[in-house]
């Protein structure tokens, strides 16, 4: 079983004509990508011509030459530069730090903020996660103030996000006035009631598809009406059914964003994360993209891994950031995350944009490597990329991605 696609009658390929690439059949077209995230959408006939060797007089020649797909006109310097920029050699450190505030005391909060600021990287994001702001307010208030101060002292941009199920409008206003992005943890059930807003005013949403979530276009309009700027949709469950339902919902949701892209100010966080084309931009990627901290001050490789001792890097009171590199857990997570170490990923056209977090693999398949051919998480991410990349020859889609500052040129 494989999720990769293959041509029934592979065309004849001329040795030395094409630069290394992967392909994926998307409807009537063939998507080709190289390992640096460059891409082209071709018709079947164009792909045949490409494999057979394009003549410089062919109208396709300058297009594919500019994108680095012609072996005879390959820009080695450019490829080396892109490879370096996108490989882990350019990774500076985890940029996102998820603080799970349940049971967190002030002293642990202080130590965690100090630990976060020991991490290198041009900017840091601290995401505070809690159900209700009221019982956690002293810790939320302290982290918001202290992290801001640490950001000023270290002269690094700090982004603060408060993700909650509920909070009063007074507290939401306080967070807004202190530059904290509010993120509402929602469950989408049925069709939206346009007259009923979210529990609090938020810019971002982490929206899980609940029972019978329907009418994705109406939900997109609902998010827009209530002032959301970006949404990350989540499946109802991590199984084949959940992945299939999610992909269908996501496809229609994205269609709406693309069709109404000029007017809408709503962004899709999946597209933003994946099309960045860097392993450390992928949401939830253990160690590379994020670290997580629980209320007791333990450090985990990601939010997904939080609470699982197998993924614990140690207590924040004793752990030093450089020790993370020595941790067998972190090393295993890094090795397992790399698509070149995964049988299916290493052959996949989406390799430059996609990988599964090892902690998610552990949850689904029982080990950090996972089984991508049978993994619903793989089905889900490939489904997302299918929906986005099949629209890349649509000017509206490219305009929307440009508006979101995603460079797919």
15 touches other proteins by CB under 8 A: no
DSSP 182: E
Residues near 93 by Cβ (< 8 Å), separated by ≥ 6?
A: 119, 120, 121, 321
117 touches other proteins by CB under 8 A: yes
In the complex with other proteins, the residue whose CB is nearer, 65 or 87, is: 87
In the complex with other proteins, the residue whose CB is nearer, 94 or 284, is: 94
Total residues interacting with other proteins, rule: CB under 8 A: 43
- Out of 93, 197, 199, 237, name the contact with other proteins by CB under 8 A: 93
In the complex with other proteins, the residue whose CB is nearer, 180 or 271, is: 180
In the complex with other proteins, the residue whose CB is nearer, 261 or 339, is: 339
- SS3 category, 339: helix
315 touches other proteins by CB under 8 A: no
153 touches other proteins by CB under 8 A: yes
154 touches other proteins by CB under 8 A: yes
Contact 329, 274 (CB under 8 A): no
Closest approach, Cβ 144 to other proteins, in A, equals 10
Left (φ > 0), alpha (ψ -120 to 50) or beta: where does 161 sit? Answer: beta
Residues near 53 by Cβ (< 8 Å), separated by ≥ 6?
A: 14, 16, 17, 18
**CB neighbourhood size of 370 (10 A):** 24
Number of residues in the chain:
409
Structure tokens at 64: 């594919």
In the complex with other proteins, the residue whose CB is nearer, 216 or 277, is: 277
Looking up tokens 């302290």, which residue turns up? 142
280 touches other proteins by CB under 8 A: no
Closest approach, Cβ 180 to other proteins, in A, equals 15
DSSP 378: H
159 touches other proteins by CB under 8 A: no
Distance between CA atoms of 41 and 28, rounded to whole angstroms?
A: 10
Site residues for other proteins, 119-148, by CB under 8 A, read 119-120, 137-139, 141-142, 145-146
- Out of 5, 22, 65, 87, name the contact with other proteins by CB under 8 A: 87
Closest approach, Cβ 331 to other proteins, in A, equals 7
In the complex with other proteins, the residue whose CB is nearer, 254 or 279, is: 279
- SS3 category, 179: coil
Give the largest Cα separation in the chain, rounded.
70
- Out of 45, 318, 320, 403, name the contact with other proteins by CB under 8 A: 320
Distance between CA atoms of 157 and 143, rounded to whole angstroms?
A: 15
| 230: nearest Cα among 261, 181, 265, 263 | 265
Closest approach, Cβ 13 to other proteins, in A, equals 21
Residues near 248 by Cβ (< 8 Å), separated by ≥ 6?
A: none
Chain residues binding other proteins by CB under 8 A are: 87-89, 91, 93, 106, 110, 117-120, 137-139, 141-142, 145-146, 149, 153-154, 320-322, 324-326, 331, 334-335, 338, 340-343, 346, 365-367, 369, 371, 373-374
């Amino acid at each position: 079983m494989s999720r990769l696609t293959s041509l029934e009658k592979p065309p004849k390929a001329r040795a030395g004509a094409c630069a290394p690439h992967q392909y994926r059949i998307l409807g009537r077209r063939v998507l080709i990508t190289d390992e640096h995230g460059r891409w082209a959408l071709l018709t079947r006939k164009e792909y045949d011509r490409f494999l057979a060797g394009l003549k410089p007089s062919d109208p396709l020649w300058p297009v594919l030459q500019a994108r680095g797909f012609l072996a005879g006109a390959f820009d080695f310097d450019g490829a080396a530069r892109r490879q370096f920029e996108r490989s882990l050699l350019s990774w500076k450190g985890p940029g996102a730090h998820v603080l799970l505030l349940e049971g967190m005391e002030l002293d642990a909060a202080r130590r965690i903020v100090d630990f976060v600021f020991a991490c290198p990287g041009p900017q840091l994001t601290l995401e505070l996660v809690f159900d209700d702001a009221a019982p956690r307010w002293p810790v939320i208030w302290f982290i918001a103030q202290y992290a801001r101060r640490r950001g000023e002292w270290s002269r690094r941009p700090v982004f603060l996000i408060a993700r909650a199920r509920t909070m009063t409008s007074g507290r939401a206003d306080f967070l807004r006035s202190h530059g904290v992005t509010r993120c509402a943890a929602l469950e989408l059930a049925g069709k939206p009631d346009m007259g009923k807003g979210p529990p609090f005013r938020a810019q971002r949403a982490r929206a899980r598809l609940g029972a019978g979530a329907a009418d994705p276009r109406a939900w997109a309009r609902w998010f827009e009406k209530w002032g959301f700027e970006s949404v990350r949709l989540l499946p109802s469950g991590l199984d084949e059914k959940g992945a299939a339902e999610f992909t269908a919902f996501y496809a229609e949701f994205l269609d709406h964003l693309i069709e109404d892209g000029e007017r809408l100010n709503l962004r899709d966080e999946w597209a933003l994360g994946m099309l960045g084309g860097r392993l450390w931009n992928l949401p939830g990627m253990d160690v590379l993209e994020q670290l997580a901290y629980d209320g007791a001050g333990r450090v985990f490789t990601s939010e997904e891994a939080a609470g699982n001792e197998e993924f614990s890097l140690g207590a924040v009171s004793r752990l030093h950031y450089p020790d993370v590199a020595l941790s067998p857990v972190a090393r295993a997570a890094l090795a397992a995350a790399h698509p070149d170490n995964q049988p299916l990923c290493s052959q996949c056209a989406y390799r430059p944009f996609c990988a599964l977090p090892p902690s998610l693999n552990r949850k689904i398949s029982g080990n950090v490597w996972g089984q991508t051919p049978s993994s619903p998480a793989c089905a889900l991410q490939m489904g997302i990329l299918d929906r986005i990349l099949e629209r890349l020859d649509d000017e509206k889609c490219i305009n929307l991605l440009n508006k979101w500052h995603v460079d797919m040129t």
